[in-house]
Amino acid sequence: MMAQYLALREEAGDCLLFYRMGDFFELFFDDAKKAAAILDISLTSRGEHAGAPIPMCGVPVHSAESYLARLIRAGCRVAIAEQTESPAKAKKRGGSKALVARDIVRFVTAGTLTEEALLEPRRANILAAACELRGQVGIAACDISTGRMELEECAPDRLAAALARLGASELVAPEGWEHLPDDAIERPAREFASDAGEARLKAIHSVATLDGFGVFSRTMLAAAGGLIAYLDHVGRGKLPLLLPPEVRASGAALAMDEATRASLEILQSAQGGRKGSLIDAVDRCVTGAGARQLAEDLSAPLLDRQQIAERLELVGWLHEDALLREDLRASLRSMPDIGRALGRVVAGRGSPRDLGQLRDGLGGARTLHERLVRKDELPVLLTRLLPALAGHGALVDLLSRALVPAPPTERNQGGYIAEGYDGALDELRRTAGNARRAIAALEAKYREETGVAALKIKHNNVLGYFVEVPQRHSDKLLLPDSGFTHRQTMAGAMRFNALALHEEASRITEAGAHSLAAEEAHFEELVTAVVEARNAIAATAAALARIDVAAGQAERAAEGGWSRPEIVEEPCLSIEGGRHPVVEAALAVQSDRFVANDCRLSPQDRLWLIGGPNMGGKSTFLRQNALIVLLAQAGSFVPAQSARIGLVDRLFSRVGASDNLARGRSTFMVEMVETAAILSQATERSFVILDEVGRGTSTYDGLALAWAVAEAVHETNRCRCLFATHYHELARLAETCDALSLHHVRAREWKGELVLLHELAEGPADRSYGLAVARLAGVPAKVVSRAKSVLDKLEKGRAETGGLAAGLGDLPLFAAAEAAREEVCDILRERLKGIDVDALSPREALDLLYELKLQAVAE
């Protein structure tokens, strides 16, 4: 057995090996140690290898999915080795000692999950592949749980941004690639061949040309080849659902780099979870598919005004009709996730329950179509979506006739094909049922004939049906003419066989086996019908998701008093009463009110320089305007009284401080890298938010950098920009930069306490409130008082000499420290004068040196 295991272990590579033994998946050696630690299960041993006990642990087959989920979340990949023949077949093949054949049937990895228990309902699970060809990078991405696949091409320096948008659970790339991402799984470079990728796509979709799906570059096809080869590998030759690939055109979506996405906390907060993120604050979808579509919308806001307008029109239509919206959301809430059910069925991992979900979901879509089509003046986008809801009549009818109302998850026990669908199957079930009634009658007859009232007919998987009587009554059944044959003696009972019982049991077994075979055949027929309609079913799932997104956005708008934005070509940003959706939601929990602020950027006033104290709301103001732009171009209403937004091609956020020690970058280096990206990539149609540029270095360096960056944004990039800073000196830029205006967040001191108003006002800040904020944060009063003295001296020195640090040596604290140092020196000098160095032994000299050192430190 260990020879078989070790051969499979070699094949599993860097994956943990789940080795099927009866009702358990067993792990051995280092796999067992690693899995036991992650799963918190017992680590045992079995036999020896190379003279040492073999570590071992195992998980039950029936609950393996929950353990797999924990291993995948811990970053593991798992190879599943199943028994590929029955013990009876193995015995027939090689005798009683023959080893049951086993083989790896599947690799379970983060990007190739389809099981409900392993997937997050409201999050897409993306597998991506990337490679480079002739100076361009091709990216292929798919979610095999729903089959959606898209291809794109970008420059190597845009790879990180593209991958950040996808948020892939797993990425595969060619071995030795120059731009190989740190967390990529390396695959043989030969798998990333464009001709092979093209051929595989044609074969999968049974077409002679891919022209009907779009125009794909050789780089895209090479990435597709690598993706499909990896899916072939993990599926052991069986591919999952892959829908026709879509082309993601360059410039089709608002561009955001990785730093901007992290700064704006779009899909996850800075703490790493969904709570506190933008999507957590705006998601009101009632289906998992809708939530996944919303996440994609927020990750890739549109650049096409017409598409944005169509989405906004649908949201507005549902926003105006609360009763329709409520009715629609109730219908959607009751629908199963047909996209993922379809994915499991096509991947060969479907169950009767998945077929039942497709029946119910497609039937619900038809009902929804009938309800919506009767409405007058439908929005353009809804008109396009409705045909996808109307079809599938024949398939729904087939599934409705074939399946019981609530099909089971497992199909090996049967019972999921409805009565009346197959007369022959019904007859087999009646035969089995009659035989069971016959056995009950037989039990009564045997009791009467033997006079043993305690006689029972029982069944188990080893003996089948048998007669059992208590030990004290066994003599009556052991008589030669009793008609019973002894089978097994137990501690308190004895078991027998009988000819009539054997005949009835045979009828039950035969009918049951034929019944299961008939149901299995019907299951395969239903699966075939679903697979043939997979593209149309996927279109229905996508239409339902889009409708759910629009209804959820309408609900969020009604709930929060959000307004429909106006999208224009002119590079403006005019927001009245703008609010930060995440902060507002957090304050609402505490029954606090968010202070709204206006923002008005135009070609003549495109750069706002914003001062004021920390905690005054500068960063919140910057981020809320960026999020309003993002939401608007995603097709959502926005948290503002009104919003007029010129299309933004690129969104940049340089807010917050963080380091990247793994890549050898300090906080200031990260800040400069992000600032450099903005200055090199922002266009006149971009929107940039900058917070405290230059704070990570010395005051003079930081001021100089902030000054130069502000000038570059104004003169070279000429983009819309909100620039928050503590450098009061930057206010002088307003004298030379005609499109720059000064603003500040308001604050007041009242009876020695700082009151932060969180309101934006025109003009420069009247003063710095750093010491007041420090006091508010709990810095000890003595430290704040000392800081006030230093500040007064600094400001006096700057005013008198122009030197920022002039005169610090005259401050009392520094003067006292200097005097103390001189006193210590005088004492040590006197000691040294009195020492006769020539008279000291080496030991005495060493002791004296220690003594002088202690005296100097003590003083």
For the residues 270-279, what does the mean pLDDT come to? Answer: 91
Token pair of 366, please? 């038809």
Side-chain half-sphere of 211: how many Cα atoms within 13 Å? 2
Separation of alpha carbons 687 and 602, rounded Å:
12
CA angle 353, 16, 30 (to 5 degrees): 145
On the question of pLDDT at 250 being above 90, the answer is no
CB 553 within 8 A of CB 636: yes
Separation of alpha carbons 392 and 366, rounded Å:
8
On the question of pLDDT at 513 being above 90, the answer is no
pLDDT given for residue 665 in this prediction: 63
Do the bridges between strand 740-750 and strand 607-611 make them parallel or antiparallel, or are there none, so unpaired?
parallel
Phi–psi pair at 176, nearest 5 degrees: 75, 10
Name the range with the highest mean pLDDT among 297-311, 403-417, 826-840.
Answer: 297-311
Separation of alpha carbons 139 and 162, rounded Å:
9
pLDDT given for residue 225 in this prediction: 97
Question: 664: pLDDT confidence band, cut at 50, 70 and 90?
Answer: low
Separation of alpha carbons 658 and 665, rounded Å:
9
For the residues 780-785, what does the mean pLDDT come to? Answer: 78
Nearest to 452 by CA among 431, 473, 467, 424: 473
CB 628 within 8 A of CB 577: no
CB 694 within 8 A of CB 669: no
CB 222 within 8 A of CB 193: yes
On the question of pLDDT at 842 being above 70, the answer is yes
pLDDT given for residue 821 in this prediction: 62
Binding residue ranges for ATP: 612-619
Question: 476: pLDDT confidence band, cut at 50, 70 and 90?
Answer: confident
pLDDT given for residue 456 in this prediction: 94
Separation of alpha carbons 372 and 327, rounded Å:
11
For the residues 826-853, what does the mean pLDDT come to? Answer: 81
Side-chain half-sphere of 20: how many Cα atoms within 13 Å? 22
pTM for the full predicted model: 0.84
Percent of the chain with pLDDT over 90: 63
Q: Name the more confident of 281 and 820.
A: 281
pLDDT given for residue 819 in this prediction: 52
pLDDT given for residue 750 in this prediction: 65
Nearest to 298 by CA among 622, 717, 531, 626: 626
On the question of pLDDT at 804 being above 50, the answer is no
On the question of pLDDT at 99 being above 70, the answer is yes
Question: What is the sign, positive or negative, of the torsion defined by CA atoms of 46, 51, 55, 58?
Answer: negative
- Output the average pLDDT for the chain: 89
pLDDT given for residue 752 in this prediction: 56
On the question of pLDDT at 810 being above 60, the answer is no
On the question of pLDDT at 403 being above 70, the answer is yes
Question: 661: pLDDT confidence band, cut at 50, 70 and 90?
Answer: very low
For the residues 616-641, what does the mean pLDDT come to? Answer: 95
Q: Is 538 helix (H, G, I), strand (E, B) or coil?
A: helix
Strand spans (E) along 176-222: 185-187
pLDDT digits (tens, 9 = 90+) for 106-123: 999 999 998 888 899 999
Nearest to 237 by CA among 247, 228, 248, 245: 228
Question: 437: pLDDT confidence band, cut at 50, 70 and 90?
Answer: confident
Q: Name the more confident of 684 and 506.
A: 684
> In the chain, how many H helices and how many E strands?
28, 27
For the residues 227-254, what does the mean pLDDT come to? Answer: 92
pLDDT digits (tens, 9 = 90+) for 55-93: 999 999 988 999 999 999 999 999 999 988 877 788 887
